[in-house]
Structure 1
Amino acid sequence: MTNKPTLLVLAAGMGSRYGGNKQIDGFGPNGETILEYSIFDAIRAGFGKVVFIVRQEILEVAKEKFLPKLEGKIEVDWVIQSLDSFVPDHLKQGGRTKPYGTAHAVLCAKDAIQEPFAVINADDFYGKEAFEVLGKFLSKEVKPDLHAMVGYAIQNVLSENGTVSRGVCETNSKGQLIGMVERTSISREGDKIVSRGEGEVLEIAENTPVSMNFWGFHPDVFVDIEEMWNKFLPANRENLKSEFYIPTVANNLIQEGKAAFEILAGGKTWFGVTYTEDRPVVIEALKKLHQEGEYPADLWK
């Protein structure tokens, strides 16, 4: 294994709520995508390779967008997530249109990654501190039975333009993750943060850590993910909307006593584009970061 961790970018999502390919939309002062800031932050945090998970139909567009900027700066690899990836013929779902989810996307990268790696969404801005803290963990602390996620306080990761889905974390006295529930309908209501999904109304404390899908794994996790995937497929054979998520993998590993997850407190700044109305907010936030000197005038010059 190399000393340098790899960054695995989940860019195969449809962007259904946003209404477009937000993974390759420009938001920065020079038309930079949100993802370019993550890659820039990863490079300066010591990551040695970036692996893009994309759909076949956006592969060429993504290559045209990113390769000229990244050439000579970081090793780049590409992996396709399709509805057939790691699905044997007898379990293929004829009417399925949606990808199988984040843990399936990670599994698709199994043959492209042999070193400790981070997983991010392509359309979330995570902040340089998050890459620093996770890069350090992946270089020095990660083990086959010890992974990590960067935690963000829920009050900092809401949208003013609608509800959001978040993995709400439960922790032990050491600050480690002991469980996570995916809440699919969270928003601020007055001075409270409320989840109205899953058939219940639940108030969530402002500083509760949530997952923004920024994970750090030892490569041995691929064996566990594939094992869970091989159980998930037959169990969900008839459900065309079933999804195989990273939090499900984390919960299973914790509950079975196979691994612990550190929650790293690097999540200071986050913003993302869930809805089209979020776009101007992100553009303004990035402009401000450039003005404050967090990023150079041009990321890649």
Structure 2
Amino acid sequence: MQKPTLLILAAGMASRYGGSLKQIQKFGPSGETIMDYSLFDAIRAGFGKVVFIIRKEFAEEFKAIFEPKLKGKVEVEYVYQELNDLPKGFTVPEGRTKPWGTAHAMLCAGQKINEPFIVINADDFYGKDAFEKACGFLDKRVAPDRYAIVGYELRKTLSDHGTVSRGVCTVDANNHLTGITERTKIYPENGKIVYEDETGKHEVPVDSKVSMNFWCFHPNIFEITKQQFTEFLRGHGQELKSEFFIPLVADEFIRSGEGAVDLVPTSSQWFGVTYQEDAPFVTNSIQSLVASGEYPSNLWA
């Protein structure tokens, strides 16, 4: 059976991180980036190809970092997310500089992927268990009418340095995703987890499952996404800051009755660098995982 593909969204602007390229910041004991750990986990879980979605302006620097590490270990492809990569008949509105969003980024990779695949963020640490569970789903259960999202325990995704926004998942009796509700300003308080909105402060169950943008797809998602993107542009294509997100595609897939999205729970601890102050925690967390034997001190030695 054909090995699945890892699609990494690495074209983000890193705005909350001071504009720096956090995708290539070194956190591991031998200079590894967060992405290195995702790549390592994916390869050992059984993925056969990686497709990077990056920006052209730092492509050469990016390739110089990752190609020597991955040579001979996994097939590598690159995709550039361009504002003018639009369906026939649509143009970029004057003054727009913001990318079209994660679903558009995924759509840009359609010509490089013909097999089941996962989509992840470049700057999130997802953990070994998550990749193993995702690979198992793609191997045994994915279908044109069955996708999946990897669900993380909310308490394992918080930051000590500010509030976070999380998509809180709801499921039905069959563990099929029924919706993702975006909750902003989430933080721990007095042993509980709360979020704030315009109506005040509300508690979120500590065992809630949240989306960290880790999706498992059949390749037919590209045609579905293309159709939805056309509709999106008809309604929002002249807006300067509108964005077309993967959860919007999944929600329409469910709502229209085209299929179901399973929630695949993981025990992994998520961490990332939402704020610059998160960086020492990420470094210390990786050092602890290396010390416990979860990862070698040099991933690519």
State whether TM-score is above 0.5: yes
The 2-side partners of 1:259 and 1:159 are apart by 34
Distance 1:166 1:132, change over 3 A: same
Indicate yes or no: 2:227 matched with 1:230: no
TM-score of the superposed pair, with normalisation by structure 1: 0.96
* Superposed counterparts of 1:224-263, under 5 Å: 224-263=224-263
**In structure 1, what is the Cα distance between the partners aligned to 2:79 and 2:16?**
24
SS at structure 1 position matched to 2:63? helix
CA contact (8 A) 1:150 1:267 kept: no
Distance 1:277 1:10, change over 3 A: same
Query: Over residues 93-149 of structure 1, what are the superposed CA-to-partner deviations in whole Å (9 max), with x where a residue is unaligned?
Result: 221222111111110101010000000000000100100010011112100000011
Matches within 5 A, 1:213-228: 213-228=213-228
Find the residue that maps to 2:182 and give its secondary structure. strand
Question: For 1:66 and 1:54, how far apart are their aligned partners in 2?
Answer: 12
Task: Give the Cα–Cα distance (whole angstroms) in 1 for the partners of residues 171 and 98 of structure 2.
Answer: 32
The aligned residue for residue 103 of structure 1 is 103
- CA deviations 1:159-179 (Å, max 9, x no partner) are 111121211111111222111
CA deviations over 1:20-58 (Å, ceiling 9, x no partner): 111011111111000000000000000000000011112
Query: In 2, are the aligned partners of 1:166 and 1:210 still within 8 Å (CA)?
Result: yes
Determine if contact 2:125/2:271 at 8 Å carries over to the other structure.
yes
CA shift in 2, pair 1:90/1:145, >3 Å: closer
Contact 2:4/2:46, CA 8 A, preserved across alignment: yes
Task: State the AA in 2 paired with 1:113.
Answer: I
Q: How many residues align?
A: 300
Q: Distance in 1 between matches of 2:30 and 2:2?
A: 33
Equivalent residue, structure 2, for 1:271: 271
Three-state SS of the structure 2 residue aligned to 1:91 is coil
- Counterpart check, 1:141 vs 2:121: no
What amino acid sits opposite 2:102 in the alignment? T
Match of 1:86 in 2: 86
Query: Match for residue 4 of structure 1?
Result: 3
Moved more, 114-123 or 81-90: 81-90
Sort the Cα spacing of 1:82 and 1:198 in 2 relative to 1 into closer, same or farther, 3 A. farther
Shift of 1:237: 2.7
Paired residues for 1:203-214 under 5 Å? 203-214=203-214
Q: Does 1:75 align with 2:75?
A: yes
RMSD (Å), alpha carbons:
1.4
Residues of 2 paired with 1:87 and 1:290: CA distance?
A: 46
Is contact 1:26-1:34 (8 Å) kept? yes
Do the aligned residues in 2 keep the contact of 1:290 with 1:297 (CA within 8 Å)?
A: yes
Deviates more, 1:254-263 or 1:85-94: 85-94
Residue segments in structure 2 that go unaligned for 5+ positions in a row:
none
Aligned residue in 2 for 1:45: 45
Please give the alpha-carbon distance, in whole angstroms, between the structure 2 residues aligned to 1:89 and 1:191. Answer: 53
Identity of aligned pairs, percent? Answer: 53
TM-score, structure 2 as length reference = 0.96
The residue type paired with residue 10 of structure 1 is L
Structure 1 residues 88, 197: closer, same or farther in 2, change over 3 A? farther
Contact preservation (8 Å) 1:10, 1:120: yes
User: Which string of whole-angstrom CA distances, capped at 9 and with x for unpartnered residues, describes residues 265-293 of structure 1?
Assistant: 22422111100000000000001111111
C-alpha distance in structure 2 between counterparts of 1:87 and 1:158, whole Å = 38
Q: CA deviation at 1:90?
A: 4.0
**Partner-residue secondary structure (3-state), 1:111:** helix
Change (3 A) 1:48 1:198: farther
Please give the secondary structure, in 2, of the residue aligned with 1:196: strand
Which piece of structure 1 moves more, 177-186 or 202-211? 177-186
Structure 1: give runs of 5+ residues left out of the alignment.
none
- After superposition, the Cα gap between the structure-2 partners of 1:100 and 1:153, relative to the gap in structure 1 and judged at 3 Å, is same
Matched position secondary structure for 1:40: helix
Secondary structure of the corresponding residue to residue 112 of structure 2:
coil
Of 10-19 and 232-241, more deviation after overlay is shown by 232-241
Q: Which amino acid aligns with 2:271?
A: F
